[in-house]
Amino acid sequence: MADGTRATRARTRRSGPAAAPGGLGARIGGDPLVGAVAAAFTLAQLLLVRPGMGLGWDETVYVSQVSAHAPAAFFSAPRARGVSLLVAPVAAWSSSTALLRVYLAALSGLALYLSLRVWRHVFPSRVLALAGALFATLWVTLFYGPQAMPNYWVAVGALACAGCLLRVRARSRDRAALAGLAAGAALMAWMRPMDAVWVALPLLALAAAGRHGRALLALLAGLAAGAAEWVVESYAAYGGLFRRLAEGSEIQGGLGWHLAVVDQLRSLGGRALCRPCTGALPAPVLTLWWYALPLLALLGLAVAVRARRAAPTLVALACAATAAFPYLFLIGYAAPRFLLPAYALLALPVADALVHVLTAPGPAWRPVAAVLVALGLAGHLAVQYAVLAHTVDRTTADRRGWSRAATELHRLGVRPPCLLTGEESVPIAFYTGCASAATDGPNANTTDAGIRDAARRVPVAALTVPGAAPPAYARTWPSVPYGALRLYVAPARPAAGRP
């Protein structure tokens, strides 16, 4: 009888969060431990990534859509406008990159907190806090959290969406959970519609198989609401949905069977984009955590199966697998940010496994387990910080180079309204306050004749790498070398046609 009483009390303690009164909104209430992790994540972004780091290539495309600082850059088929709308509250009235970074860092910390709290009915606070810490201390999470890029937001949307579906399975009439499910799906589709579909596949299957009609409708409604603008724009500007999908596939090198696992490994040393993905693999110490991640996640599944609560862990693992699949097997290049949704979902079973290791063993070897876990986590943090510091330094230097190129172009008379074309013209145009144009490649949006015509009206510059022949229309233009570029500037025209 005594043993039965102790078992009952243990089950009560484990199920306490799920049995607490109130809906999902009550469970999103205060959790100091998870809140501390989220706050530390925001602070770490501001201290380690630095708000003054200039905008990157893709960031300038997204920000230029809503910024008064420069004309909108060409918006290629694979992109979605979620990031542009996310940054609009700041970018629409301020050109301060530092202010934008602070805004995004604060918002990303809040989003991490809310997406973790959704899982409170499944995992105790210490597991959620550890999962948040594991995800938040990855160099790629810290690096992209304060950037105007979509992948982090797909990650927190996936985390919230999966947790809300599990909540609806437990209480089908939980309106707050249904709203959270729709909101999470909408956030993912708002940022990257195709990623949202991949993440949602296991959730759609689970809702349909379990006959959870409300959950299925909420999930589909969220996906439709988030992707609506992208679909409408497909017909308005790209010739239709299927044409946009085909164009997006072409821009990404042709989606199909590509074994990109090794490419992802190469990117873990701090390469923001690995295309073409060649060269040596990073040192083993930098990739060890990547090999350990799936093993620890499987250990978390074993822990969950033994505790007879495998369903939530299986959902997290299934969504992580479908989120990662296209970037490991269907695309011919790599970027570490592509796998952020998978990392966020895998953090939950990994944290569950580590907490189990620290608390389940008997007194004889629990201290040994604690020391081993502590050493492993310390080494992991050291590796993540080293890669982050190297990546931030290199990236900051590159973006300062773009800013200096903009200053040189201003000195040469290329001032707004103006047009840039050629090598790295998209980001440098944003820094200069110019429009950008290309006659070929994924950003093609004009012709040689169009650039010649623009040169009759506004300042135009063509950028090439040293030793490369300039475009035919720029062969007679004066040129100057500048760093890793050569700047060809169209001769000044009479000012009559300029504002």
For residue 157, which of 135, 134, 190, 123 has the smallest C-alpha distance?
Answer: 190
Mean pLDDT of the chain: 91
pLDDT in tens, 209-264: 988 899 999 999 999 999 999 999 999 999 999 999 999 999 888 888 999 999 99
HSE (side-chain half, CA atoms, 13 Å) at 108: 33
Predicted local confidence at residue 361, as pLDDT = 66
pLDDT in tens, 297-312: 999 999 999 989 999 9
Distance CA 171, CA 21 (A): 12
Predicted local confidence at residue 364, as pLDDT = 73
Query: pLDDT grade, residue 119 (50/70/90)?
Result: very high
Q: Looking at the predicted structure, is the pLDDT value of residue 28 above 80?
A: no
Predicted local confidence at residue 291, as pLDDT = 95
Across the range 94-123, mean pLDDT stands at 96
Predicted local confidence at residue 498, as pLDDT = 42
Predicted local confidence at residue 237, as pLDDT = 94
pLDDT in tens, 124-134: 999 999 999 99
Other beta carbons within 10 Å of 102: 17
Across the range 106-113, mean pLDDT stands at 98
Query: pLDDT grade, residue 279 (50/70/90)?
Result: confident
Phi, psi of 377 (to 5 degrees): -70, -40
Q: Looking at the predicted structure, is the pLDDT value of residue 25 above 70?
A: no
pLDDT in tens, 431-457: 999 999 999 888 889 999 999 999 999
Q: Looking at the predicted structure, is the pLDDT value of residue 16 above 50?
A: no
Contact 380, 291 (CB under 8 A): no
Across the range 422-434, mean pLDDT stands at 96
Query: pLDDT grade, residue 367 (50/70/90)?
Result: confident
Distance CA 49, CA 292 (A): 26
- Residues of the chain with pLDDT > 70: what percent? 92
Predicted local confidence at residue 304, as pLDDT = 95
Predicted local confidence at residue 30, as pLDDT = 66
Across the range 277-282, mean pLDDT stands at 87
Strands 460-464 and 485-489, bridge-based pairing: antiparallel
Query: pLDDT grade, residue 18 (50/70/90)?
Result: very low
Q: Looking at the predicted structure, is the pLDDT value of residue 404 above 60?
A: yes
**Of 154-163, 217-226, 369-378, minimum mean pLDDT range:** 369-378
Predicted local confidence at residue 15, as pLDDT = 39
Predicted local confidence at residue 346, as pLDDT = 98
Q: Looking at the predicted structure, is the pLDDT value of residue 360 above 80?
A: no
Predicted local confidence at residue 14, as pLDDT = 41
**Amino acid symbol at 25:** G
Predicted local confidence at residue 212, as pLDDT = 87
pLDDT in tens, 465-488: 988 999 999 999 999 999 889 999
Query: pLDDT grade, residue 2 (50/70/90)?
Result: very low
- Break the chain into its structural domains and give their ranges: 20-360, 396-497
Query: pLDDT grade, residue 17 (50/70/90)?
Result: very low
For residue 218, which of 262, 164, 259 has the smallest C-alpha distance?
Answer: 164
pLDDT in tens, 339-348: 999 999 999 9
pLDDT in tens, 68-87: 989 999 999 999 999 999 99
Q: Measured in whole angstroms, how far is the alpha carbon of residue 410 from the centre of its chain?
A: 33
